[in-house]
Amino acid sequence: MLTPHALLFSAVALMGLILVHELGHIVMAQCVGLTRPPRLKMRGLLAIGVAIDTTHFTPKAIAYTLIAGSWAEWVLIPAIFLEGLRYAPLLGVLIAAHWLLNWIPWGIFPNDGTRLWRLWRRGVPY
């Protein structure tokens, strides 16, 4: 049942996932040699990203940085599922949609899947 509490919990959970996702990109970029501070990019309410200067990164470092965002989400996903499925049963569907939108290489907007696909098409070994 979609109660106001369930909607609020879902919105906060998704915003938390997005924040942790972007922080994962930043932390991995710092681990592989980030020299310039990243810039926050916002396109609407849920389209938040970071612009990281990867001009001096190796293709392997770029791939690690792209993958680190989604792996960082696993810090929150267990807690969201343990607490959230009681309030918002559709939250699992929203998280799956969030992952699909991020990992399927749509080619339309620059998500992580599209960027990894472009690296792979250039024949860059991971």
- Predicted pLDDT at 67: 93
Q: pLDDT tens digit string along 11-65?
A: 888 888 888 999 999 999 999 998 888 988 877 766 678 889 988 899 999 999 9
- Predicted pLDDT at 12: 85
The domain tally of the chain equals: 1
Q: What is the mean pLDDT of residues 61-83?
A: 88
Burial degree of 80 (CB within 10 A; 0-12, 13-18, 19+): buried
Residue 59 lies inside a defined structural domain of this protein? no
Residue 111 lies inside a defined structural domain of this protein? yes
Which residues constitute the domain of residue 114?
Answer: 89-126
Residue 115 lies inside a defined structural domain of this protein? yes
Is 0.75 topped by the overall pTM?
yes
Residue 75 lies inside a defined structural domain of this protein? no
**69 near 50, Cβ under 8 Å?**
no
**21 near 69, Cβ under 8 Å?**
yes
Residue 118 lies inside a defined structural domain of this protein? yes
- Predicted pLDDT at 125: 56
- Predicted pLDDT at 61: 92
Residue 96 lies inside a defined structural domain of this protein? yes
Q: pLDDT tens digit string along 80-124?
A: 877 776 766 777 788 888 888 888 888 777 789 998 888 888 876
Residue 14 lies inside a defined structural domain of this protein? no
Residue 10 lies inside a defined structural domain of this protein? no
